Amino acid sequence: MIRHFRKQFIIFSTCALLLVIITIVGSISSVTYFRAHQEVNAVLTILSNNDGEMPARMSPDPLQAFTQPNITRESLSQYRYFSGTLNKQNNQIKVEDDHILSVSPAEIQKLTQRVLRGHRLQGRVFYKQTVYAYRVKDSSKQTNVVFLDETLMLSKALEVTYLGILLGIVSLLLYATVLVLFSKSAIRPIVQAEQRQKEFITNAGHELKTPLSVISANTEMQELMNGENDLTRSTKEQVDRLTKLINQFVSLARLQEQPRMTLSVINASRVTNQVADSFKSVVVQDGKKFKAFVTPKLMIKADEHYFYELISILLDNANKYCDPEGDVYLKLRLGKRRKNVILSVTNSFAAGKEIDYQRFFERFYREDKARTINEKKSGYGIGLSMAQNIVKNFGGQIKISYSNGKISMIITIKKANHKLNGKQEEK
């Protein structure tokens, strides 16, 4: 259990940091790309307003200082751009290529014609592995198309993204390494508290058995001397209840200490039939109906003793909380994909519509509605917690469902191969 808790602590802490890193890197990358596109649009606007040429004067706008990139004539010279102007009178294209070397005038004319055929005022074109953003300005005499190589701006944003991802991965690895190295120290107080709790339960259980034995012996002696009466019967009943409670405490503490279960391939069908045969008379004597449906020769990897105990706990719980003259069903079958074995115990429970079934696995939890069904047979709320620990040690899953006035405990355990018979593994 401690290893599992430590593993969960490391996983959740690392995932939390991963989420923070993704949020930070994603935010920085988004802002960088947004600013890059703002810069592209700002440069295109300036060039388009000046028919594809560098303006003679540029005065900064103080209102746009915080929302738009600060572009001057000096900074404008770093960009690679060109333009093509279509004269509507003679249908000739004038080329401006002073700020580009990789595109020839003939290619500029072709790109201009290509953009004009698309009838779009702005967009992007891909030419010779380079992305050019363009802006179209139309007037009565001419149509000007300005092209801007946006590779420089976007490459800066891409570089920031790659750097953020790299630093994030390095930080995550360093954090995970430190967490693995110091996780034992971090969870040591919790481990010590859990260990002291288990030791207390085990020691207290053994210590309480001695006075209970004395009380039981004194009660029997009193019955021999004065005969049985209501007081002695009540004392014996309470002694039995306390003895069962102590035994369940000790069993649960041992289960949580990762007992050395002998996991081997067992015949789940045979064990289930054995438990069903022993519980049938108990259920019928309480005035309820009991039915068992067991698919033969189903094999699972489990501890036979604890598997028997698991079915006994579930049937005992179903019998206690079943409606008077209700039904108790025990089923063992293959799952839909024939990879798992499904064990289900179902009982009639008409008063269970508004019960929080997920809390049934909490120790000492009993719903008030369930308690009032049969106060004399109500348990201590530890049986299902024990069942959950047994299933967890088997590597299976347990869940509760309620439908049509019936509550079902459903256990899923992976089916084992017959070829594995005879092999054992200690856990």
Summarised one tens digit per residue, pLDDT across range 195-246 is 676 666 666 666 676 777 778 788 888 878 888 888 887 887 777 767 766 7
Same domain, 409 and 317: yes
- The C-alpha angle 288, 290, 293, rounded to 5 degrees, equals 165
- CATH number of the structural domain spanning residue 209: 1.10.287.130
Q: How confident is the model at residue 286 (pLDDT cuts 50, 70, 90)?
A: confident
How is residue 123 written in tokens? 């967009």
Confidence class of residue 343 from pLDDT cuts 50, 70 and 90? very high
Lowest-confidence pick of 274-283, 288-297, 359-368: 359-368
Q: Tell me the two tokens of residue 305.
A: 């003793």
pLDDT band at 421 (very low <50, low <70, confident <90, very high): very low
pLDDT at residue 1 in the model: 57
Q: Which of 255, 287, 307 is the last residue of a domain?
A: 255
Q: Are residues 358 and 406 in the same domain?
A: yes
Q: Assess whether 86 and 107 both reside in one domain.
A: yes
Instruction: Give the pTM.
Output: 0.49
Query: Is the same domain home to 237 and 290?
Result: no
Burial 35-51, CB ≥16 within 10 A → b, else e: ebeebbbebbbbbbebb
Q: Indicate whether 235 and 282 sit together in one domain.
A: no
Tell me if 328 is assigned to some domain. Answer: yes
DSSP 332: E
Average pLDDT along the chain: 79
Q: What is the mean pLDDT of residues 275-287?
A: 86
- In this structure, the answer to whether residues 337 and 374 fall within a common structural domain is yes
Q: What is the pLDDT of residue 374?
A: 44
Report yes or no on 67 lying in a domain. Answer: no
Position 79 confidence tier, pLDDT thresholds 50, 70, 90 = confident
Q: How confident is the model at residue 341 (pLDDT cuts 50, 70, 90)?
A: very high
Q: Quick check: 380 pLDDT over 60?
A: no
Domain co-membership, 127 together with 233: no
**273 & 408 share domain:** yes
Residues 341 and 405 in one domain: yes
Residue ranges making up the domain that contains 348:
261-426
pLDDT higher than 60, residue 17: yes
For every residue of 392-426, DSSP letters joined together read: HHTT-EEEEEEETTEEEEEEEEEBPPGGGTT-EEE
Query: Reduced to 3 states, what is the DSSP secondary structure of residue 229?
Result: coil
